[in-house]
Structure formats: structure tokens, C-alpha cells
């Protein structure tokens, strides 16, 4: 474990097919100079880096007992200067709430807000550009399902994130 105090970010690991689809959509529409990341669903934006060992223990325990999470992608939503894909996943909401309770005292104001899972495919563009993509995707969108397969912990240092560890959910095959 690192003694680095840079903040940690927790995301949901998507199944390969969903991951490839959303990453391609993001690569097509996210401003290239700001597109450091592949597609992701952020669960927590800023956990304390100095608590990495304890956070990893919590994530290992949580993931060991968590079956894969069914995800539904019903449509798109505007973000003002971007567009995101909506994620409906009641089991994800419950797991995230359990983690929020375990992380109590560490949560940033942003992470204390109501959790609305989504996948950002465009951000930090002119409102007109975002509105055009929203119109295009909302008329052509076909809802589909995916799976959350685990948790990924990252360290944030400004541009690209550095992966720390992955915590896979047990397979239900």
C-alpha cells in the first residue's frame, strides 16, 4: 500500500461489452485534449489517500459478498456542457449506500450528495455542441443491459488516474 496522500476514486467495473461500447462513444464525443479516461461509473470522487489500506480492506470484504450487479442503460441525459448515459441499478444503489456508511467521516460534500449513477460520454464542451449530441443520441438510443463486475480503486493526481487495485465480484455461473 502507498503512503501517498493524493485522493482516491472508486469506480464500478463494467462488463467488457458495455465497457468497449461506452469507451468508443466517449472517444468519439469527449474533447480529445481532456479525454484521459475510459468509460466508467464513479461511485466516490474523493476518498482520503492516507486511508488506502483501510479502504482496500472494506472493498475486499464488500466485493467478496457482492454478486455481479445488473445494470440497465435506458437513455441519455444532458449535463449542461455534456451528455451522460443514465444507469438504472437498484442493487448498485444499495451497495453504494453500504459503502457510504463504511466510509462515513471520509466523504467529500460531493460524495455525500444523492448518488445518480451515469456514464459521461461528453463533457466540458459548448452548450450547443452538447445539445446537438443529446438530440442525436436521445432519438437513436436503444436501451440495453450490462453488468457491474467489480470495483476499481484509483489515485487522482490531476490528469490520468492511476489504478491501484481491482476487486472483482464472485461469478454466479
Beta-bridged to residue 120, according to DSSP, are 84
Q: What is the pLDDT of residues 24-40, one digit of tens each?
A: 999 999 998 888 899 99
Q: Residue 172: pLDDT band by 50, 70, 90 thresholds?
A: low
What global pTM score does this model have? Answer: 0.94
Residue 173 confidence (pLDDT) above 80: no
Is 3 a member of any domain? no
Is 173 a member of any domain? no
Measured from the Cβ of residue 32, the count of other Cβ atoms closer than 10 Å reads: 6
Note whether 87 and 14 are within 8 A (CB): no
Is 63 a member of any domain? yes
Buried b (16+ CB within 10 A) or exposed e, 108-128: eeebeeeeebbbbbbbebeee
Q: Which CATH number is 29's domain given?
A: 3.90.1140.10
In angstroms, the CA 54 to CA 46 distance is 15
Is 1 a member of any domain? no
Is 2 a member of any domain? no
Q: Residue 159: its pLDDT value, please?
A: 81
Note whether 150 and 63 are within 8 A (CB): yes
Which of the pair, 105 or 171, is modelled with greater confidence?
A: 105
Note whether 154 and 38 are within 8 A (CB): no
**Number of domains making up the chain:** 1
Residue 134 CA neighbour count, 13 Å, CB half: 19
Residue 2 confidence (pLDDT) above 60: no
Is 30 a member of any domain? yes
Q: What is the pLDDT of residues 147-164, one digit of tens each?
A: 999 999 999 988 889 999
Q: Residue 141: its pLDDT value, please?
A: 98
Domain membership of residue 127 as a residue range: 8-168
Quickly count helices (H) and strands (E) in the chain: 5, 8
Comparing CA positions, the residue from 10, 5, 12, 1 lying closest to residue 148 is 12
Q: Residue 4: pLDDT band by 50, 70, 90 thresholds?
A: confident
Q: What is the pLDDT of residues 99-148, one digit of tens each?
A: 999 999 999 999 999 999 999 999 999 999 999 999 999 999 999 999 99
Q: What is the pLDDT of residues 50-92, one digit of tens each?
A: 999 999 999 999 999 999 999 999 999 999 899 999 999 999 9
Amino acid at each position: 500500500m502507498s503512503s501517498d496522500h493524493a485522493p482516491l476514486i472508486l469506480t464500478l467495473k463494467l462488463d467488457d461489452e458495455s465497457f468497449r461500447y461506452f469507451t468508443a462513444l466517449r472517444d468519439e464525443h469527449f474533447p480529445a485534449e481532456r479525454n484521459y479516461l475510459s468509460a466508467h461509473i464513479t461511485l466516490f470522487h474523493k476518498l482520503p489517500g492516507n486511508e488506502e489500506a483501510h479502504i482496500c480492506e472494506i472493498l475486499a470484504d464488500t466485493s467478496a459478498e457482492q454478486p455481479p450487479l445488473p445494470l440497465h442503460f435506458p437513455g441519455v441525459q444532458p449535463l449542461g456542457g455534456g451528455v451522460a448515459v443514465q444507469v438504472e441499478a437498484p442493487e448498485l444503489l444499495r451497495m453504494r449506500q453500504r459503502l457510504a456508511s463504511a466510509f462515513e467521516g471520509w466523504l467529500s460534500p460531493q460524495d455525500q450528495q444523492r448518488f445518480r449513477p451515469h456514464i459521461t460520454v461528453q463533457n466540458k464542451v459548448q452548450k450547443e455542441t452538447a445539445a446537438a449530441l443529446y438530440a442525436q443520441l436521445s432519438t437513436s438510443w436503444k436501451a440495453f443491459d450490462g453488468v457491474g463486475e467489480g470495483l476499481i480503486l484509483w489515485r487522482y493526481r490531476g490528469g490520468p488516474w492511476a489504478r491501484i487495485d481491482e476487486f472483482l465480484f464472485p461469478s454466479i455461473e
